[in-house]
């Protein structure tokens, strides 16, 4: 790992560095990399995951925003394999261009303060990615993987599950990080669904519908979707306008969005 003697953890960049090798090994085992695969890591930090990955795989690209970590990463990476460092805010990185026609495996212990924006950004570039393995707040992973009907089910669940298979893998306690976060963490695998199996006619319309439906989750769809979908349009696809968003399946959201798209 990069020596952190001089490094002050930046809270604003969500810097909680892994220091338990057992957790690192578990992530690497979950990845089960095959020779020749391209791997990209978001937020390498001091390299807790980076260097074991590099040693196991030989070739790795990383995207890190903290300028203070770039030179130490470069120096420590020089002797360990091919480390390509992109110094940038991941939210501004065109992952599709980065893939250059060769989809890659994406991995990262994400900065928790911007984990949702990162997830939505990655969704926009899903064809660039074979799969993702992310460490996130456990509470976020619970929401990503939630089924309809419960309090965890919401916009994040519907948006991610419409485009990806979401598989929670394992929980990681705060003590595995320095400094420890206040919450449990969890590792999740997301595998983009094949493009031809995603039946969403208008992605922007679908996203806007889901956002509006969950904006006031205690209200009925008749109220929350007023101005976007009429009760008759809901009934046309078998949705009860008196129901709440949290009871609708992902398929029902897609059916309603497609219906609105075809009958504006
Ligand atoms: N991978 C390291 C580990 O497990 O010890 C560090 C993980 S730490 C939770 C998150 C990392 O993401 C930090 O290195 C932080 O500087 C970096 N980061 C924060 N915001 C970022 C952004 N917008 N783009 C790229 N990296 C970012």
**Are the beta carbons of 228 and 209 closer than 8 angstroms?**
yes
Minimum CA distance residue for ligand 1 atom 10: 111
Question: pLDDT tens-digit profile of 36-48?
Answer: 999 999 999 999 9
Minimum CA distance residue for ligand 1 atom 21: 65
DSSP state of 244: B
Q: What is the pTM of this model?
A: 0.94
Tell whether the model's pLDDT for residue 4 goes beyond 60. Answer: no
If you classify domain 11-196 with CATH, what class do you get? alpha beta
CA distance 87 to 67: 7
CA distance 44 to 27: 14
CA distance 137 to 115: 9
Regarding beta strands 185-192 and 129-137, do their DSSP bridges make them parallel or antiparallel, or are they unpaired?
antiparallel
Q: Which H/E stretch holds residue 20? A: none
User: What pLDDT was estimated at residue 105?
Assistant: 97
User: From ligand 1's centre to the CA of 230, what distance in Å?
Assistant: 44
CATH number of the domain at 203-262, please?
1.10.8.100
Question: pLDDT tens-digit profile of 116-145?
Answer: 999 999 999 999 999 999 999 999 999 999
Question: pLDDT tens-digit profile of 167-216?
Answer: 999 999 999 999 999 999 999 999 999 988 888 999 999 999 999 999 99
What CA–CA distances, in Å, run from 264 to 59, 228, 229, 261? Answer: 49, 9, 9, 6
Q: Of 64-78, 129-143, 236-250, where does mean pLDDT reach its minimum? A: 64-78
Q: Give the E-state strand segments of 20-81 in sequence order.
A: 39-42, 59-64
User: From ligand 1's centre to the CA of 137, what distance in Å?
Assistant: 14
Question: pLDDT tens-digit profile of 83-107?
Answer: 999 999 999 999 999 988 899 999 9
Residue 228 phi, psi dihedral angles, 5° rounding? -115, -45
CA distance 204 to 75: 43
What CA–CA distances, in Å, run from 30 to 17, 27, 54? Answer: 19, 5, 16
Q: What are the residue boundaries of the structural domains of the chain, listed by start?
A: 11-196, 203-262
Tell whether the model's pLDDT for residue 258 goes beyond 80. Answer: yes
């Amino acid at each position: 790992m990069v020596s952190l003697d001089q490094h002050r953890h930046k809270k604003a960049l969500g810097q909680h560095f892994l220091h338990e090798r057992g957790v690192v090994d578990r992530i690497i085992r979950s990845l089960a990399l095959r020779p020749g695969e391209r791997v990209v890591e978001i937020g390498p930090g001091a390299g807790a995951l980076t260097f074991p990955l590099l040693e196991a795989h030989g070739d790795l690209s990383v995207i890190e925003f903290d300028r203070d970590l770039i030179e130490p990463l470069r120096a420590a990476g020089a002797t360990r394999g091919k480390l390509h460092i992109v110094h940038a805010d991941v939210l501004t990185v065109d992952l599709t261009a980065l893939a250059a026609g060769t989809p890659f495996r994406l991995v990262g212990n994400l900065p928790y303060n911007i984990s949702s924006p990162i997830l939505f950004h990655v969704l926009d570039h899903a064809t660039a990615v074979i799969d993702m393995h992310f460490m996130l707040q456990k509470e976020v992973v619970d929401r990503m993987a939630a089924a309809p009907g419960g309090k965890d089910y919401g916009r994040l669940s519907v948006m991610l599950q419409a485009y990806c298979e979401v598989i929670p893998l394992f929980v990681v306690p705060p003590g595995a990080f320095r400094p420890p976060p206040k919450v449990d963490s969890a590792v999740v695998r997301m595998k983009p669904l094949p493009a031809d199996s995603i039946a969403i006619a208008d992605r922007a319309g679908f996203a806007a519908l889901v956002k509006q439906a969950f904006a006031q989750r205690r209200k009925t769809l008749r109220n929350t979707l007023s101005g976007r979908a009429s009760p008759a349009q809901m009934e046309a696809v078998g949705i009860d306008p008196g129901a709440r968003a949290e009871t609708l399946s992902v398929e029902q959201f897609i059916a309603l969005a497609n219906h609105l798209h075809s009958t504006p």
